[in-house]
Amino acid sequence: MLRLLNEKINEMPNKPALYWNNQTISFKEVGEEVTKWMDYLATSLPSTEQTIGLMSQNSDEMYYVILALWSLEKDILFLNTHLSQHELLFQLQDAKVAFVVSENKFHHKLDAISHIVPLDGTLRTSRMKITPLVDERQLTSIMYTSGTTGRPKGVVQRFTNHQASVKAAQINMGLTADDCWACAVPLFHISGLSIILRQLITGCSISLYPKFDADQLTADIISKRVTIASVVTYMLEKMIEKFPTETNYPTTFKTYLLGGGPIAKDTLIICRDLKIPVIQSYGMTETCSQVVALSANDALTKIGASGVPLYGMSLRIVDEHNQLLPASQTGEIQLKGPQVISHYLNETASHLAKWTHDGWFKTGDLGYLDEEGYLFVISRLSELIISGGENIYPPEVESILKQHPAITEVAVIGEVDIKWGQIPVAYAVVNQPITLEALQLFTTKQLAKYKVPKKLYLCKNLPKTASGKLAKHRLLTNEREVFIHHDDTK
């Protein structure tokens, strides 16, 4: 991979590689910074440690450290900055990671559970050279995504997966070295990290933001710097609000790449009417970003569709017996292609069950293909909640809630929210009085804030199937009122 960075440094040394905090940083300057970080990290990390944790918010330093660790042939465990110490401990132990490069502000979460290498350490001048990896197939990034059992799974992403993902996006979007991709999504998510991979392969510039700022991103689009921006639903809605009504999007702006969960059809219609280019997409951590997407033209005529499989990707819809379904019939979405990971970290039988005997990856999502082969995603078989682009798996939250002495039974589902797309809400059967505030205080100690239920519905009982299994789908309809006897939603 670092061969690619060397190529960009040699071919376009003065071309802007990174826009950060009013600075314009060329590829040559990126190379100089990366070599300094390589020196610092090489002297701070034991050579025997293959996988290194990284915990940081978006910054130029995080960008350099990612490239430096890969230059040192280290695998990177990307740690979500919102996680609790309890959640971080599990991931570090599961991935057998002892050393974490971290911003100072997160040291209090890590000091008792890992060796910390300060991200904002003093750098020394280095004479080291960036060298290409011997075998790029061995280069990995690791990101944890919660499993349907509530146990997070380590997703092992190899360079070959990332490379296939970039090639597909390059073909679909016409991505070139002349583009500038806005990254206001976290680099510790696949949506953010994939932008760095696209840069290494295509030579495009990156406009990096510490966090999403609708005003700043709007200004950068109007100034014609940014040509593409990755967004989730609430970000797109904010951009619609902020963009001056008397101003048209410049022709230099190609599109928003929309991912991260459901979006109201009305919002897409507004974008179409205002001539705001939006490409809907479908992908996941296990596919190294998007594997299904619309073209810019289709985005105007196929509102609500996720698109068609991108280059190299095969997709099928099957029933519960793994039999192919015809057009317009809903079933599980299954994928096969070089973008899809080959395994999880520390595989178990449940992990292996995610693949069919003939190599198809079971996404756990429900959808259908229309007569023209466009994918429409209906819901998550796995009951995944996506809130502001963050993944929340109900079983993980439920397992924590059940530890509270007042909780007898509980179900966590996603409720539609204008700002976040979805929010987690809890339906609980209790044996003593409890308030939403008390439950939130209890769960905040063990869960990231975005996973904590935002509403609490107290129930006499929860809906069950004939076999006694929880029937959550009945809580998604008007029938839910039958079960609720007290609404403590604050």
Q: Which CATH class is domain 2-369?
A: alpha beta
pLDDT at 466: 47
Q: Is the Cβ–Cβ distance between 49 and 72 less than 8 Å?
A: no
Q: Which part of the chain has CATH 3.40.50.12780?
A: 2-369
Which pLDDT belongs to residue 387? Answer: 93
The pLDDT of residue 130: 46
Report which DSSP code applies to 470: B
pLDDT at 190 over 70: yes
Are 369 and 302 contacting, i.e. CB atoms less than 8 angstroms apart? no
pLDDT bucket at 465, cuts 50 / 70 / 90 = low
- CATH 3.30.300.30 placement within the chain: 385-488
Looking at residue 158, what is its pLDDT?
A: 95
384-443: pLDDT as tens digits: 788 998 888 787 898 899 999 999 999 999 998 988 999 999 999 999 999 999 999 999
Would you list the DSSP string of 239-271?
A: HHHHS-TT-PPPTT--EEEE-SS---HHHHHHH
Looking at the chain, the whole-number percentage of residues with pLDDT higher than 70 is 91
In this prediction, residue 469 carries a pLDDT of 62
pLDDT class of 382 with cuts at 50, 70, 90: low
> Per the structure block, which two tokens stand in for 466?
């004939």
- At residue 468, the pLDDT reads 58
Residue 76 has a CB neighbour count (10 Å cut-off) of 23
CA distance 422 to 413: 9
CATH number corresponding to 385-488: 3.30.300.30
Tell me the pLDDT band of 127, cut-offs 50, 70 and 90.
very low
Mean pLDDT of 298-304: 80
Q: What is the per-residue pLDDT across 342-364, written as a single tens digit (0 to 9) for each?
A: 999 998 887 888 999 999 999 98
Share of the chain above pLDDT 90, in %: 67
Query: Is the confidence at residue 74, as pLDDT, over 60?
Result: yes
Question: What pLDDT is stored for residue 134 in this prediction?
Answer: 41
pLDDT at 120 over 80: no
Indicate the range of 25-29, 151-155, 216-220, 408-412 predicted with least confidence: 151-155
pLDDT at 476 over 60: yes
Mean pLDDT of all residues in 233-244: 90
Half-sphere exposure of 359 (CA within 13 A, CB side): 8
Looking at per-residue pLDDT, the higher value among 125 and 98 belongs to: 98
Q: Are strands 115-118 and 205-208 parallel, antiparallel or unpaired?
A: unpaired
Distance, CA of 194 to CA of 165 (rounded, Å): 8
**Which of 25-34, 127-136, 467-476 is predicted most confidently?**
25-34
With cut-offs at 50, 70 and 90, classify the pLDDT of residue 132.
very low
Q: Is the pLDDT of residue 292 over 50?
A: yes
Asked which of 257-266, 420-429, 481-490 is least confident by mean pLDDT, the reply is 481-490
CA gap 305, 362 in Å, rounded: 20
Q: Is the pLDDT of residue 255 over 50?
A: yes
Residue in the block written with tokens 């403590």: 488
Q: Calculate the average pLDDT of the chain.
A: 89
**What residue type is 94 in one-letter code?**
D
- Helix 60-71 × helix 190-202 angle, to 10°: 70
Q: What is the mean pLDDT of residues 19-46?
A: 95
Q: Between the CA of residue 180 and those of 196, 202, 210, 219, 253, what are the distances in Å?
A: 11, 11, 17, 14, 9
Q: What pLDDT sits at residue 325? A: 96
Longest CA–CA span in the chain (Å) reads 70
Q: In terms of pLDDT, which residue wins out, 490 or 53?
A: 53
Whether residue 474 contacts residue 463, with contact meaning beta carbons closer than 8 Å, is answered with yes
Provide Rg for the chain, Cα atoms.
Answer: 23
Query: What is the model's pLDDT at position 136?
Result: 54
